[in-house]
Protein backbone atom coordinates (compact mmCIF):
# COMPACT_ATOMS: atom_id res chain seq x y z
CA UNK A 1 0.00 0.00 0.00
CA UNK A 2 1.31 3.44 -0.89
CA UNK A 3 2.93 4.82 2.23
CA UNK A 4 2.09 8.47 1.46
CA UNK A 5 -1.56 7.75 0.79
CA UNK A 6 -1.78 5.40 3.77
CA UNK A 7 -0.23 7.91 6.16
CA UNK A 8 -2.49 10.75 5.04
CA UNK A 9 -5.51 8.51 5.16
CA UNK A 10 -4.58 7.14 8.59
CA UNK A 11 -4.33 10.71 9.87
CA UNK A 12 -7.77 11.36 8.40
CA UNK A 13 -9.11 8.23 10.14
CA UNK A 14 -7.55 9.21 13.50
CA UNK A 15 -9.16 12.65 13.26
CA UNK A 16 -12.50 11.21 12.17
CA UNK A 17 -12.46 8.77 15.09
CA UNK A 18 -11.46 11.42 17.62
CA UNK A 19 -14.19 13.70 16.30
CA UNK A 20 -16.84 10.97 16.66
CA UNK A 21 -15.70 10.20 20.20
CA UNK A 22 -15.55 13.92 21.11
CA UNK A 23 -19.02 14.58 19.75
CA UNK A 24 -20.42 11.64 21.72
CA UNK A 25 -18.76 13.00 24.85
CA UNK A 26 -20.34 16.43 24.27
CA UNK A 27 -23.75 14.83 23.81
CA UNK A 28 -23.29 12.84 27.02
CA UNK A 29 -22.24 15.89 29.06
CA UNK A 30 -25.10 17.95 27.71
CA UNK A 31 -27.49 15.17 28.61
CA UNK A 32 -26.12 14.82 32.13
CA UNK A 33 -26.78 18.52 32.71
CA UNK A 34 -30.22 18.40 31.23
CA UNK A 35 -31.46 15.11 32.72
CA UNK A 36 -30.70 14.59 36.44
CA UNK A 37 -32.41 11.19 36.21
CA UNK A 38 -29.81 10.08 33.70
CA UNK A 39 -27.02 11.09 36.07
CA UNK A 40 -28.69 9.18 38.91
CA UNK A 41 -28.89 6.05 36.79
CA UNK A 42 -25.24 6.33 35.78
CA UNK A 43 -24.18 6.74 39.41
CA UNK A 44 -26.19 3.64 40.31
CA UNK A 45 -24.52 1.78 37.49
CA UNK A 46 -21.07 2.80 38.70
CA UNK A 47 -21.85 1.72 42.26
CA UNK A 48 -23.06 -1.63 41.04
CA UNK A 49 -19.92 -2.13 38.99
CA UNK A 50 -17.75 -1.39 42.05
CA UNK A 51 -19.83 -3.77 44.17
CA UNK A 52 -19.46 -6.40 41.50
CA UNK A 53 -15.67 -6.00 41.48
CA UNK A 54 -15.59 -6.38 45.28
CA UNK A 55 -17.76 -9.49 45.25
CA UNK A 56 -15.56 -11.03 42.59
CA UNK A 57 -12.61 -10.81 45.00
CA UNK A 58 -14.17 -12.85 47.78
CA UNK A 59 -16.33 -15.93 48.24
CA UNK A 60 -16.13 -19.26 46.45
CA UNK A 61 -16.68 -19.87 42.74
CA UNK A 62 -20.39 -20.56 43.11
CA UNK A 63 -21.02 -17.42 45.22
CA UNK A 64 -19.11 -15.40 42.67
CA UNK A 65 -21.09 -16.85 39.80
CA UNK A 66 -24.41 -16.12 41.50
CA UNK A 67 -23.30 -12.57 42.41
CA UNK A 68 -22.15 -11.96 38.87
CA UNK A 69 -25.43 -13.16 37.39
CA UNK A 70 -27.43 -10.97 39.79
CA UNK A 71 -25.30 -7.99 39.02
CA UNK A 72 -25.71 -8.51 35.27
CA UNK A 73 -29.47 -8.59 35.69
CA UNK A 74 -29.41 -5.36 37.73
CA UNK A 75 -27.11 -3.65 35.25
CA UNK A 76 -29.41 -4.76 32.44
CA UNK A 77 -32.38 -3.27 34.28
CA UNK A 78 -30.60 0.09 34.61
CA UNK A 79 -29.64 0.00 30.94
CA UNK A 80 -33.26 -0.58 30.00
CA UNK A 81 -34.32 2.27 32.24
CA UNK A 82 -31.79 4.52 30.49
CA UNK A 83 -33.17 3.38 27.13
CA UNK A 84 -36.73 4.17 28.22
CA UNK A 85 -35.59 7.58 29.42
CA UNK A 86 -33.96 8.26 26.05
CA UNK A 87 -37.05 7.14 24.16
CA UNK A 88 -39.26 9.40 26.30
CA UNK A 89 -36.93 12.28 25.43
CA UNK A 90 -37.21 11.41 21.73
CA UNK A 91 -33.55 10.37 21.55
CA UNK A 92 -32.18 7.31 19.76
CA UNK A 93 -30.97 4.51 22.04
CA UNK A 94 -27.37 4.93 20.88
CA UNK A 95 -27.44 8.71 21.37
CA UNK A 96 -24.40 8.88 23.65
CA UNK A 97 -22.25 6.47 21.63
CA UNK A 98 -19.80 7.66 18.96
CA UNK A 99 -21.19 7.55 15.44
CA UNK A 100 -18.45 5.87 13.48
CA UNK A 101 -18.51 5.92 9.70
CA UNK A 102 -17.43 2.28 9.61
CA UNK A 103 -19.05 -0.03 12.12
CA UNK A 104 -16.54 -2.77 11.38
CA UNK A 105 -13.34 -0.96 12.37
CA UNK A 106 -14.92 1.93 14.31
CA UNK A 107 -12.83 4.23 12.13
CA UNK A 108 -9.50 2.86 13.27
CA UNK A 109 -8.81 1.51 9.76
CA UNK A 110 -7.89 -1.86 11.25
CA UNK A 111 -9.76 -5.01 12.11
CA UNK A 112 -8.66 -7.94 14.19
CA UNK A 113 -8.72 -11.39 12.64
CA UNK A 114 -7.75 -13.87 15.34
CA UNK A 115 -4.61 -12.35 16.79
CA UNK A 116 -3.69 -10.60 13.54
CA UNK A 117 -4.48 -7.00 12.73
CA UNK A 118 -5.37 -6.29 9.13
CA UNK A 119 -6.52 -3.26 7.21
CA UNK A 120 -10.29 -2.83 7.20
CA UNK A 121 -11.86 -3.06 3.75
CA UNK A 122 -13.16 0.51 4.10
CA UNK A 123 -9.57 1.69 4.31
CA UNK A 124 -8.35 -0.43 1.39
CA UNK A 125 -11.22 0.73 -0.77
CA UNK A 126 -10.48 4.36 0.08
CA UNK A 127 -6.88 3.88 -1.00
CA UNK A 128 -8.15 2.48 -4.29
CA UNK A 129 -10.53 5.41 -4.70
CA UNK A 130 -7.83 7.93 -3.99
CA UNK A 131 -5.33 6.24 -6.23
CA UNK A 132 -7.63 6.12 -9.19
CA UNK A 133 -9.34 9.24 -10.32
CA UNK A 134 -12.95 9.27 -9.27
CA UNK A 135 -14.18 9.85 -12.82
CA UNK A 136 -12.93 6.45 -13.88
CA UNK A 137 -14.91 4.73 -11.22
CA UNK A 138 -18.15 2.95 -11.86
CA UNK A 139 -21.49 4.45 -10.90
CA UNK A 140 -21.92 1.92 -8.14
CA UNK A 141 -24.93 3.58 -6.52
CA UNK A 142 -26.88 3.79 -9.80
CA UNK A 143 -25.85 0.55 -11.43
CA UNK A 144 -26.20 -2.42 -9.12
CA UNK A 145 -28.32 -5.53 -8.59
CA UNK A 146 -30.99 -3.47 -6.82
CA UNK A 147 -31.44 -1.11 -9.76
CA UNK A 148 -31.20 -3.93 -12.32
CA UNK A 149 -34.18 -3.51 -14.66
CA UNK A 150 -35.24 -6.50 -16.75
CA UNK A 151 -37.76 -4.34 -18.65
CA UNK A 152 -34.97 -3.38 -21.06
CA UNK A 153 -34.61 -6.95 -22.25
CA UNK A 154 -36.96 -8.51 -24.78
CA UNK A 155 -38.46 -11.91 -24.07
CA UNK A 156 -38.62 -12.77 -27.78
CA UNK A 157 -36.29 -15.39 -29.19
CA UNK A 158 -34.72 -14.19 -32.45
CA UNK A 159 -32.32 -16.89 -33.54
CA UNK A 160 -31.41 -15.18 -36.77
CA UNK A 161 -30.59 -11.86 -35.15
CA UNK A 162 -28.87 -13.10 -32.01
CA UNK A 163 -27.68 -16.59 -32.97
CA UNK A 164 -29.17 -17.97 -29.78
CA UNK A 165 -32.08 -20.16 -28.71
CA UNK A 166 -32.53 -17.85 -25.75
CA UNK A 167 -34.34 -14.54 -25.62
CA UNK A 168 -32.28 -11.51 -24.47
CA UNK A 169 -34.28 -11.61 -21.23
CA UNK A 170 -33.52 -15.25 -20.52
CA UNK A 171 -29.89 -14.62 -21.43
CA UNK A 172 -29.44 -11.63 -19.12
CA UNK A 173 -31.16 -13.48 -16.28
CA UNK A 174 -28.72 -16.36 -16.72
CA UNK A 175 -25.76 -13.95 -16.74
CA UNK A 176 -27.13 -12.19 -13.67
CA UNK A 177 -27.40 -15.51 -11.82
CA UNK A 178 -23.87 -16.39 -12.82
CA UNK A 179 -22.64 -12.95 -11.74
CA UNK A 180 -24.24 -13.26 -8.31
CA UNK A 181 -22.69 -16.68 -7.87
CA UNK A 182 -19.34 -15.23 -9.04
CA UNK A 183 -19.37 -12.49 -6.42
CA UNK A 184 -20.31 -15.02 -3.74
CA UNK A 185 -17.32 -17.13 -4.75
CA UNK A 186 -14.56 -14.56 -5.11
CA UNK A 187 -12.38 -16.53 -2.71
CA UNK A 188 -13.15 -19.88 -4.28
CA UNK A 189 -10.18 -21.14 -6.34
CA UNK A 190 -12.57 -23.20 -8.49
CA UNK A 191 -14.54 -20.10 -9.50
CA UNK A 192 -13.69 -19.03 -13.04
CA UNK A 193 -13.20 -15.41 -14.07
CA UNK A 194 -15.69 -13.65 -16.34
CA UNK A 195 -15.39 -12.47 -19.91
CA UNK A 196 -18.26 -10.26 -21.05
CA UNK A 197 -18.61 -9.87 -24.79
CA UNK A 198 -21.32 -8.08 -26.73
CA UNK A 199 -22.27 -5.07 -28.73
CA UNK A 200 -22.52 -1.54 -27.41
CA UNK A 201 -25.26 -0.82 -24.90
CA UNK A 202 -26.11 -4.42 -24.04
CA UNK A 203 -25.34 -4.07 -20.32
CA UNK A 204 -21.76 -5.27 -19.84
CA UNK A 205 -20.56 -2.28 -17.82
CA UNK A 206 -23.80 -2.30 -15.81
CA UNK A 207 -23.28 -5.95 -14.86
CA UNK A 208 -19.62 -5.26 -13.96
CA UNK A 209 -20.76 -2.36 -11.79
CA UNK A 210 -23.38 -4.53 -10.07
CA UNK A 211 -20.72 -7.14 -9.27
CA UNK A 212 -18.31 -4.41 -8.07
CA UNK A 213 -21.01 -2.89 -5.84
CA UNK A 214 -21.76 -6.24 -4.26
CA UNK A 215 -18.05 -7.11 -3.86
CA UNK A 216 -17.27 -3.75 -2.20
CA UNK A 217 -20.19 -4.28 0.17
CA UNK A 218 -18.79 -7.67 1.07
CA UNK A 219 -15.51 -5.99 1.97
CA UNK A 220 -13.46 -6.87 -1.10
CA UNK A 221 -11.18 -4.33 -2.74
CA UNK A 222 -12.21 -3.62 -6.31
CA UNK A 223 -10.44 -1.83 -9.08
CA UNK A 224 -12.23 -0.80 -12.24
CA UNK A 225 -10.39 0.59 -15.20
CA UNK A 226 -10.85 0.77 -18.95
CA UNK A 227 -8.25 -1.14 -20.94
CA UNK A 228 -6.72 1.96 -22.59
CA UNK A 229 -6.23 3.80 -19.27
CA UNK A 230 -5.04 0.67 -17.52
CA UNK A 231 -2.42 -0.02 -20.19
CA UNK A 232 -1.22 3.59 -20.22
CA UNK A 233 -0.96 3.60 -16.47
CA UNK A 234 0.98 0.33 -16.38
CA UNK A 235 3.43 1.52 -18.98
CA UNK A 236 3.85 4.92 -17.33
CA UNK A 237 4.59 3.21 -14.02
CA UNK A 238 7.24 1.10 -15.69
CA UNK A 239 8.83 4.14 -17.33
CA UNK A 240 8.87 5.94 -13.99
CA UNK A 241 11.09 3.05 -12.91
CA UNK A 242 8.84 2.47 -9.88
CA UNK A 243 10.43 5.52 -8.23
CA UNK A 244 7.18 7.40 -8.15
CA UNK A 245 5.37 6.01 -5.10
CA UNK A 246 1.86 6.73 -6.40
CA UNK A 247 2.57 5.07 -9.73
CA UNK A 248 4.19 2.12 -8.02
CA UNK A 249 1.11 1.75 -5.82
CA UNK A 250 -1.17 1.95 -8.86
CA UNK A 251 0.89 -0.70 -10.58
CA UNK A 252 0.88 -3.08 -7.63
CA UNK A 253 -2.85 -2.70 -7.08
CA UNK A 254 -3.55 -4.09 -10.54
CA UNK A 255 -2.01 -7.37 -9.43
CA UNK A 256 -3.12 -7.39 -5.78
CA UNK A 257 -6.68 -6.10 -5.75
CA UNK A 258 -9.32 -8.75 -4.94
CA UNK A 259 -11.32 -8.00 -8.07
CA UNK A 260 -9.98 -6.28 -11.17
CA UNK A 261 -12.41 -5.14 -13.84
CA UNK A 262 -10.93 -4.35 -17.22
CA UNK A 263 -13.58 -2.64 -19.33
CA UNK A 264 -13.59 -2.06 -23.10
CA UNK A 265 -10.76 -4.43 -23.95
CA UNK A 266 -9.87 -3.97 -27.60
CA UNK A 267 -10.26 -0.20 -27.61
CA UNK A 268 -6.66 0.41 -26.50
CA UNK A 269 -4.00 1.31 -29.04
CA UNK A 270 -2.13 -1.86 -29.61
CA UNK A 271 1.60 -2.26 -29.21
CA UNK A 272 3.91 -5.11 -28.33
CA UNK A 273 4.59 -3.67 -24.91
CA UNK A 274 0.87 -3.55 -24.21
CA UNK A 275 0.38 -7.15 -25.31
CA UNK A 276 3.12 -8.21 -22.93
CA UNK A 277 1.59 -6.20 -20.08
CA UNK A 278 -1.91 -7.52 -20.69
CA UNK A 279 -0.59 -11.06 -20.69
CA UNK A 280 1.33 -10.32 -17.51
CA UNK A 281 -1.79 -8.98 -15.74
CA UNK A 282 -4.01 -11.88 -16.80
CA UNK A 283 -1.40 -14.50 -16.04
CA UNK A 284 -0.18 -13.12 -12.72
CA UNK A 285 -3.72 -12.74 -11.41
CA UNK A 286 -4.51 -16.32 -12.42
CA UNK A 287 -1.42 -17.53 -10.57
CA UNK A 288 -2.35 -15.48 -7.52
CA UNK A 289 -5.91 -16.73 -7.75
CA UNK A 290 -7.32 -13.22 -7.88
CA UNK A 291 -10.54 -12.75 -9.83
CA UNK A 292 -10.82 -10.62 -12.95
CA UNK A 293 -13.69 -9.49 -15.17
CA UNK A 294 -12.92 -8.45 -18.73
CA UNK A 295 -15.48 -6.72 -20.99
CA UNK A 296 -15.20 -6.24 -24.69
CA UNK A 297 -17.19 -5.29 -27.78
CA UNK A 298 -15.14 -7.79 -29.73
CA UNK A 299 -16.24 -11.33 -30.46
CA UNK A 300 -14.00 -14.23 -29.51
CA UNK A 301 -12.97 -14.46 -33.16
CA UNK A 302 -11.98 -10.77 -33.19
CA UNK A 303 -10.09 -11.21 -29.95
CA UNK A 304 -8.17 -14.14 -31.41
CA UNK A 305 -7.07 -11.89 -34.27
CA UNK A 306 -5.92 -9.08 -31.97
CA UNK A 307 -4.33 -11.03 -29.12
CA UNK A 308 -1.86 -13.88 -29.27
CA UNK A 309 -2.43 -17.51 -28.32
CA UNK A 310 -0.99 -17.11 -24.84
CA UNK A 311 -3.66 -14.53 -23.94
CA UNK A 312 -6.42 -16.40 -25.78
CA UNK A 313 -5.72 -19.78 -24.21
CA UNK A 314 -5.91 -18.20 -20.73
CA UNK A 315 -9.17 -16.43 -21.55
CA UNK A 316 -10.77 -19.53 -22.97
CA UNK A 317 -9.47 -21.86 -20.27
CA UNK A 318 -10.03 -19.75 -17.18
CA UNK A 319 -12.88 -17.40 -17.99
CA UNK A 320 -16.59 -18.11 -18.30
CA UNK A 321 -17.64 -16.40 -21.50
CA UNK A 322 -20.90 -14.46 -21.26
CA UNK A 323 -22.33 -13.18 -24.49
CA UNK A 324 -24.57 -10.14 -24.03
CA UNK A 325 -27.13 -9.53 -26.75
CA UNK A 326 -30.32 -7.59 -27.31
CA UNK A 327 -31.29 -4.05 -28.16
CA UNK A 328 -28.94 -1.17 -27.44
CA UNK A 329 -30.30 -0.07 -24.04
CA UNK A 330 -28.61 3.30 -24.41
CA UNK A 331 -30.78 4.00 -27.47
CA UNK A 332 -33.88 2.60 -25.76
CA UNK A 333 -33.34 4.89 -22.80
CA UNK A 334 -32.85 7.89 -25.07
CA UNK A 335 -36.18 7.20 -26.83
CA UNK A 336 -37.95 6.91 -23.51
CA UNK A 337 -36.81 10.38 -22.39
Q: Is 54 in the site for ligand ATP (CB under 6 A)?
A: no
Q: Which does 120 bind (CB under 5 to 8 A by kind): ligand ATP, Mg ion, Zn ion, none?
A: Zn ion
Q: At what angle do helices 204-217 and 168-184 cross, to 10 degrees?
A: 30
Contacts of 243 (CB under 8 A, 6+ apart): none
Q: Is 143 in the site for ligand ATP (CB under 6 A)?
A: yes
Instruction: Determine the 3-state secondary structure of 55 from DSSP.
Output: helix
Q: Which does 149 bind (CB under 5 to 8 A by kind): ligand ATP, Mg ion, Zn ion, none?
A: ligand ATP
Q: What gap in Å lies between CA 233 and CA 98, rounded to an integer?
A: 40
The binder of ligand ATP chosen from 95, 148, 162, 279 (CB under 6 A): 148
Binding mask 170-209 for Mg ion (x = CB under 5 A): -----------------------------------x----
Q: Is 275 in the site for ligand ATP (CB under 6 A)?
A: no
Q: Which does 148 bind (CB under 5 to 8 A by kind): Mg ion, Zn ion, ligand ATP, none?
A: ligand ATP
- Residue 272, classified by CB atoms within 10 Å of its CB into exposed (0-12), middle (13-18) or buried (19+), is exposed
The binder of ligand ATP chosen from 197, 205, 214, 250 (CB under 6 A): 205
Closest approach of ligand ATP to the CB of residue 142, in Å? 7
Nearer to ligand ATP by Cβ, of 120 and 222: the residue is 222
Question: Residue ranges of the alpha helices (H) in 35-146?
Answer: 36-57, 61-88, 121-131
Q: Which does 143 bind (CB under 5 to 8 A by kind): ligand ATP, Zn ion, Mg ion, none?
A: ligand ATP
Q: Is 307 in the site for ligand ATP (CB under 6 A)?
A: no
Instruction: Determine the 3-state secondary structure of 297 from DSSP.
Output: coil
CA geometry: angle at 195 spanning 193 and 198, to 5°? 160
Please count the helices (runs of H) and the strands (runs of E) in the chain.
13, 7
Q: Is 268 in the site for ligand ATP (CB under 6 A)?
A: no
- Residue 203, classified by CB atoms within 10 Å of its CB into exposed (0-12), middle (13-18) or buried (19+), is buried
Given the DSSP bridges, would you call strands 110-113 and 116-119 parallel, antiparallel or unpaired? antiparallel
| Strand order through the sheet with 193-198 | 222-226, 259-265, 291-296, 193-198, 319-324
Q: Is 122 in the site for Zn ion (CB under 5 A)?
A: yes
Q: Which stretch binds ligand ATP (CB under 6 A): 99-107, 234-242, 284-292, 324-332?
A: 324-332
The binder of ligand ATP chosen from 149, 160, 165, 309 (CB under 6 A): 149
Nearer to Zn ion by Cβ, of 105 and 278: the residue is 105
What's CA 23's distance to the chain center, in Å? 28
Q: Which does 333 bind (CB under 5 to 8 A by kind): Mg ion, ligand ATP, Zn ion, none?
A: ligand ATP
Buried (b) or exposed (e) across 24-50, using 16+ Cβ within 10 A? Answer: beebeeebeeebeebeebbeebeebee
Nearer to Zn ion by Cβ, of 120 and 210: the residue is 120
Nearer to ligand ATP by Cβ, of 209 and 250: the residue is 209
Binding residues for Zn ion, rule: CB under 5 A, are 102, 104-105, 120, 122
Binding residues for Mg ion, rule: CB under 5 A, are 205
Binding residues for ligand ATP, rule: CB under 6 A, are 143, 148-149, 152, 198, 200-206, 264, 297, 324, 329-330, 333
Amino acid sequence: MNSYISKDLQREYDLKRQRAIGEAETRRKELLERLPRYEELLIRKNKLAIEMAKTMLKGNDLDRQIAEENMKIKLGEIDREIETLFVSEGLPKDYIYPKFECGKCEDTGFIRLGNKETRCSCFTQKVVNITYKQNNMLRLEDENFNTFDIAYFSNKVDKEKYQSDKSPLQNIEDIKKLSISFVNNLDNPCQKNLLFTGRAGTGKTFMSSAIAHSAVNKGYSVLYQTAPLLMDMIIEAKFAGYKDETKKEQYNRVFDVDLLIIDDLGTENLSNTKFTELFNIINTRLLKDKKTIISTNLTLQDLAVQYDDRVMSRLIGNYTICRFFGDDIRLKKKKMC
